[in-house]
Each structure stands twice: as structure tokens, then as C-alpha cells.
Structure 1
């Protein structure tokens, strides 16, 4: 079975960062890389000449992304896909055979752009693999200490997020901090909440020995708690939805806000049967 990471590329700085992250993951996970550019040219009623010109521009953009990936992965073949249509559904359809889907935040708009302001939320909702949303690093920001922060709430999705975070940490030799944030008062005292978190980590960390894991509960709403911790994190991992959204067809509100507002890359993980 082909193991690959798919990355969306539109020529923007954000998508170039996405290719860099995807190439790094390919080296670490020893997978293949597919660079995809989605374009939406003139409709059928418009002139064929305009359609051809837009397609040529899209082809040049795709070549730029592939050449970048090949420089980052010397000696490795890079697969390329150019599709016409809505970027969100097109990228989500490629997730069926992917180990990870990587997109940039705030992609270019317009005819040839990958509308990643909305695409990131769409693929995080509908992709069948973990989605990693990245943005270029801010030169003014202090260096990250290099930990992975994962938000949990006891749901199946947060368990999947914890499993992904532990696996990612093992591959990259990074520590993990597990956080449960909830503003309302728990019926259990604080030490029982800490024990619940410790048991959740222990139940999933058997195959990830050697990963340094810390866990804690905070009396704070999840969004501000995770946003604050994203400023010092290498990666923030969350489930696609939390408790109470068992059959939800939309991305959880916290996950969606984190995609656009977190200071570090965000991985959104979905629980599958």
C-alpha cells in the first residue's frame, strides 16, 4: 500500500512553508510526497483561450511547488497532481490514501489561488487523515522550546489526537504536554482530574516509550487556554470535534478557531470507526 503525504501548493509563502513541513515529515516517516495544485479557471461559457492561459499559469505554479519539494528531498521522486475545481473537496478526496494532509493557512485568493482560509477548515472536517495546517514563522517571535501540546476532553476525537501527538513526538523526539481545559466546575476534586489525565496518557503511551509526557488540568475555557500555550509550542494537536458532537458534520468551534488563530502549526485529528 502506498504511504504518502499530500500537500496543497498555490505559490503563496504559506504554501511554501507547507511544502517544507511536508518534506520534513516525509524524511522522518519515510513516506512519499504528493504536491497538489487546485485551480478554478473560467467557466464553460467563457472563451477557451482564457481557460488555456489560466491552466498554463496553474501548471507553472505546480512545477514551482514540485521543484521546491525535490530540492528538499534530493534523490526522491515527487508526485504531482493538478486538479480543477473547489480546493477543499479536491484535497479532501486525496486524503483517502494519505497518511497526512498538509495545507498552509491564509492561502492566496482569486481564480488561481488556493483559498486556504476556508480550505483548511473544510479539509480538517472532511479529510480521512490528520490535517496539518501551517503558516510561515514570525521572525519577531521567540524560538519555540519544541514541545507538542495536545488538548483533550475525554472524547473519542481527543483520544485520537493524543495518539497522534504521542506518535509524532516519538518520531521527532519531542516532549508532549497534555492539557484539559474546562471552565465549569468538575464534580471531582482537582487531584482526581489529574489522575484521569494520567490514566488516559498511560493507556495510549504503551507503544511510545521514551516520550516525555506531562499532563495538567486548568480551570479555563479551552480556546484561550490552547491559544496561550500555542505561543510556546512546536505543534498544537486537537480532535476535530469534542464531546456532544458525535454525529457532527462541521468542525468543532474550538478546532476551527485554532486553525486561524494559533501561533504554531495545528494538527486536527479525526476519530474513525
Structure 2
């Protein structure tokens, strides 16, 4: 399993992904799930993946080849005229990879089920920053005012944090802090999500990463966020009204 989040702000885009993959509790590995391409002054594109590792690596490898190979090997993310076309290229490639692997697995319904989902974020000069979630079937949806962030992988533990804390006008720094809390909550609840985390911040009209780093288990800021959030939850819990086994007093008794 994995956990990835892409978020749209007024100032740009923020993405974070974990790096854990596992095939059972005794076979845990670290693999990068965030990939980025940019042409200075012209475009920046970041992709995060979740699902079958062989499937997502095949998609990423083919996209990488198209950005480096001779010009006739198209379509390339670096040549697509819009982010919509970028999402279309990724969706078509994901669907084709899954279908090929499914066909190689034997008769329909008998082979293993290969599935994956992808978050695509970025901006092309002259256009708005955009965020898409691509499904295994190759279709996709775009983030909007009503749905300003996407999650893939193990989403349920970190989602309440995002729903309560997100604001489109928040600073990049606050957005990173919010994602740290969301990832810490997921990490505490599910062993299939793990450090290190990869972080990418894309500022509007910058066309290169504003901030990019890997967050390890020894990261002092993440350690402070994790311990402070746990303590804040305990304090909030103890500040709530106490429950009593005694029946509540009726109005006549109070008078």
C-alpha cells in the first residue's frame, strides 16, 4: 500500500508521497513514488503513483524514455500542449500497460489483477496550475473548488485532517505542516505506509520546484510535528466535558 496527496492552493501545488512497498509483513522495501520533469521557464510536471509496483514502474519508464529518446518517439510529456493532454497521455499509457499485463496473465478472470492509480500535477506556461487523478481504466478527473486535493493509496486515516485543515489561501508552509500531520496520522494507523516521505512544492508561474526534499525518520521537524500533534490530541481530549454514569438532573430537581 502507499499514501500520496496532491493539493491545489491559490499559490500553486503541493505534493507528498510515502516510499513503502510490501508483499507481506516480512518483505518491505523502499521505492520512490514521486517523479518530476520540467523545462525551465516553460513547464513543470510531477507524478505520484500507487498500486502494483511493476505496473507503475513500467508507466514511469516509458514516460522517461519518451522524454529522452529521439523526437519521433511520441507522445512526450514535454511536448504536450496542455496539462489536460498530459493527463490523457498518462491515462492511455496506464490503461495499455494494465491491459497488456492482464492479457499475459492467462484467460480473462484467471490471472492476477494488476491495478494502479496516478496523480498528475503541474503547469505549462500561459495556463493555470492543474491537478488530475488518473484511474486504472485510463480516465481521469480534475481538481476543482469543491475537490481541491486528491489522495491515492491508503486514504482514510489522513483524509479527516485534510478536510478540517485545508484552506485554498493557506501558505505553502502551512500546507506542508498539514500534510505532515495527515501522513503522521496515516503512519500511526497503517504499517503499509512508511517513511521516508517525498515532498514537492510548485509555485505558480515558476516552472521549477520551489521546494523539494526527502523527509526521513530522523527529520527534526517531522519528529516535532508527530510528538506535538499527539500531545495536542491528548490535551484536546482531556479538555472535553466529562461523561457521567449518573442520570442527568431534570429541571425540577435543579430548581
Taking structure 2 as the reference length, what is the TM-score of the superposition?
0.26
Specify which structure has the higher proportion of strand: 2
> Whose helix proportion is higher, 1 or 2?
1
Q: Larger Cα Rg: Structure 1 or Structure 2?
A: 2
Instruction: Report the TM-score, using the length of structure 1 for normalisation.
Output: 0.25
Q: Which has the higher contact order (CA 8 A, sep 6+)?
A: 2
